[in-house]
Amino acid sequence: MQRFTLSSLALPTLGRMVMLAGIGAAPLSYAEALPAPVQALRDQGLSIHGQFEAPGGLRGYGASVQGQDMAIYLTPDGEHAIVGTLMDSEGNDLTEAQLDEHVRVPLEAETWQLLEESHWIQDGDSAAPRIIYTFTDANCPYCHQLWEQSRPWIDAGKVQLRHIMVGILAPDSPALAATMLGADNPSAALSAHSEGERVSASAQSREIEEQVYSNNQLFEALGLYATPTSAFQRETESGSIRIDRVQGLPSEERLIEMMGSEAP
């Protein structure tokens, strides 16, 4: 029996990582068993997300491992699998669009759901048409700057920031995050803190402490390294919804892009 090992395969470098880096997305379930070479790769840790038609009698599978998206091509005899980029006779990449449809779009939809289900503090009108998730540490001066920069859009009711409170920068960051999440009015507590009124950490319930821990885990699982990190949705020319993100304080150009318009 032929063996398939990841070390023996040349994994493609596509230049873009799905945002769901580090999170083990559930593989696509099939009504029938996967072909043996594809199953062998799945057994070695690849997640299989979708199947698509490919030229030359090949059958394609969208896959990912450790945040890297890739395509698997099954040969017509069903006995061999090739991991890589398929090109036509004119040098056109036939893989990129398939990865977008069968890997990145569904994974980013899962990521957005994870953000929605995280523990966040609302900043702005709940009816605002644009939602931005931002990982915020109470000890992060750049988070305070982003809060200030976003006021024109927030005050105009155009944007709602959802602050996913994490505790990573200082020893008291987890306690401060828990204090704000556990406040009677978390939005007011965050606003007061952002305006310069120092919030004193106070003991919180185990449930609130676990919310901060869960947010920290999400931050790490997404492969993030800076606060604030903000995530927002954008529509592509093809009509699909994708996630864009800004790590750190955005430039003026990126701020406008993130907010969806010039300052009101």
- The answer to the question of residue 109 being in a domain is no
| Structural domains in the chain (count) | 2
The CA distances from residue 222 to 83, 84, 94, 143, in Å, are 24, 24, 28, 19
Confirm whether 84 is domain-assigned. yes
pLDDT at position 32: 54
Q: What domain range includes position 211?
A: 115-259
Of 190, 200, 182, nearest to 148 by C-alpha is 190
Identify whether 1 is part of a domain: no
Q: Write down the pTM of the prediction.
A: 0.78
Whether the Cβ atoms of residue 159 and residue 128 lie closer than 8 Å to each other: yes
59, 175: one domain: no
Question: What is the C-alpha separation between 70 and 63, in angstroms, rounded?
Answer: 5
pLDDT at 29: 47
Instruction: Give 103 or 57, the one with higher predicted confidence.
Output: 57
CA dist 231 and 119 (Å) reads 15
Percent of the chain at pLDDT > 90 equals 69
Within a domain: 77: yes
Residue 34 near residue 43 (C-beta atoms within 8 A): no
68 and 119 co-located in one domain = no
Q: What is the CATH number of the domain that holds 63?
A: 3.10.450.70
pLDDT in tens, 199-240: 888 999 999 999 999 999 999 988 899 999 999 998 887 777
